[in-house]
Structure 1
Amino acid sequence: MKKFGLAAAAVIAGVVLLANLGPMVGLAVSIAILYYVAKKFMKAETTGKKVIWGGLGLIMLAASISNAPAIIGVVAAFVLYLIYKNWNKARETQLDNDPFVNFEREWAKLK
């Protein structure tokens, strides 16, 4: 039953991830451009260049903020990762409850 719940959560998280894939790409691109603009702003020597790079930085900041729903996609990707990590733990807990496995482990300890 635990596997069914994990599979259902994985399907839901996968659909949410695919639905937010566009904003995630947009957020990544806008943050990369914002980083480049910030570096150029710091290197600019004249006031005119600083104003131009600052204006472009504000535009890129607005583009980054407009892609805020991408955070939901990142959370969905993290949930998929957690499900992937816990997929085999459900099987291990079933094996721990098996009396024959425990018997073999205890017998090996006695030797």
Structure 2
Amino acid sequence: MKKFGLLIIGGIAAIVLLANLAPMLALAISLVILYYAYKGFMKTDSKGMKIFWVIAGIIALCASASNLPAVIGAAAAYILYVVYKKWNNKEVTAEKESADPFTNFERQWAEMKKNN
């Protein structure tokens, strides 16, 4: 039953991620422009170029800050990652516990220490 729930959540997250790929690309481009505006501002000594880089930076900052669908897409990508990790983690953990001969020994040893 847990696998079915993970499948449903992963499917919804994948659809949301695919629907928001274009806004995520626009966010990445605006952040790159903002980075280069900052670097250009720091490198130049001219007052006119500093004003130009500040204006370019403010425009890029406004474009990236107003891009809410990209943030939703990033959250969907993270949810998809968590679902993937949980999907594979359950199988590996069950196999690891049964294959480890010291699991019961360590548990019993901890119980004996508590009793003494």
Structure 2: gaps (5+ residues) = 106-116
Q: 1:7/1:46 Cα in 2 relative to 1: closer, same or farther (>3 Å)? A: same
CA distance in structure 2 between the aligned counterparts of 1:93 and 1:58, rounded to whole angstroms: 49
Structure 1 residue 19 displacement after superposition: 1.2
Aligned to 1:74: 74
Aligned to 2:29: 29
Aligned to 1:48: 48
Structure 1 residue 43 displacement after superposition: 1.0
Structure 1: gaps (5+ residues) = none
Where do residues 1-111 of structure 1 align in structure 2 (5 Å cutoff)? 1-91=1-91
Q: How many residues align?
A: 103
CA distance in structure 2 between the aligned counterparts of 1:31 and 1:82, rounded to whole angstroms: 25
Identity among equivalent pairs (%): 50
CA distance in structure 2 between the aligned counterparts of 1:39 and 1:79, rounded to whole angstroms: 33
1:38 partner amino acid: Y
Q: Structure 1 runs of 4+ off > 4 angstroms?
A: 92-96
Instruction: Provide the TM-score with structure 1 as the length reference.
Output: 0.79
